[in-house]
Amino acid sequence: MSKDYPCRAVDGTFAHSAPAKFTNSVELAVTPEQLWEVLVDADAWPKWVSIIKKATWTSAAPHGVGTTRTVDMLGGIVGNEEFLAWEPGVAMAFRFNSISTSGIDAFAEDYKIEPTATGCRLTWILAMEPTGVQVYAIKLFGPVMNFTFARFLKNLRRYTDERFAVAQRPAS
């Protein structure tokens, strides 16, 4: 079993004030309710976030603020999350309570969903406070990390397009 490093318990404001944060948005051709269906589907996360191998709810349904989840990632990294915001079709946010690797004092993600004329827009903020050598790694590799996070949202668009595709009827 791997070591578990506690993370500082941050609140919902951390995503906006963190020393390292990455913000990306994507336009999706699905309703906010359909996007929410994807975000609460633990099996869907590995299909659009390629570093996630498995997401597991560790709190019984119904889920909401205070719900916990474990995320298994590439490299054997495991994050233990707690949800800070839970507004179906509108917003969700979570923090890591602990992670199986050192170098992260605090970590949180914030997801905001806005309806648009053609579906919805998701804005995602990934925020962290690295420690030690990770501070320099984030500064050096931040642009590559942000490119990767933007790519995850392109994957999400592809996934939602496929998941909610309207069946085409053959011409009569």
Tell me, yes or no, whether 93 lies in a domain: yes
- Whole-structure pTM over 0.95, yes or no? no
Tell me, yes or no, whether 56 lies in a domain: yes
Instruction: Report the CATH number at residue 95.
Output: 3.30.530.20
Report the number of distinct structural domains present in the chain.
Answer: 1
Tell me, yes or no, whether 171 lies in a domain: no
Q: pLDDT tens digits, residue range 48-68? A: 999 999 999 999 999 999 999
Cβ neighbours, 10 Å, residue 24: 18
Q: pLDDT tens digits, residue range 131-166? A: 999 999 999 999 999 999 999 999 999 999 999 985
pLDDT band at 3 (very low <50, low <70, confident <90, very high): confident
Q: pLDDT tens digits, residue range 72-125? A: 999 999 999 999 999 999 999 999 999 999 999 999 999 999 999 999 999 999
Tell me, yes or no, whether 172 lies in a domain: no
The DSSP bridge partners found for residue 121 are 27, 114
Tell me, yes or no, whether 169 lies in a domain: no
Confidence (pLDDT) at 60: 96
Tell me, yes or no, whether 168 lies in a domain: no
Angle between helical axes of 133-163 and 32-39 (0-180°, round to 10): 120
Structural domain harbouring 41: 5-163
Tell me, yes or no, whether 155 lies in a domain: yes
Tell me, yes or no, whether 22 lies in a domain: yes
Mean of pLDDT over the chain? 94
Confidence (pLDDT) at 165: 87
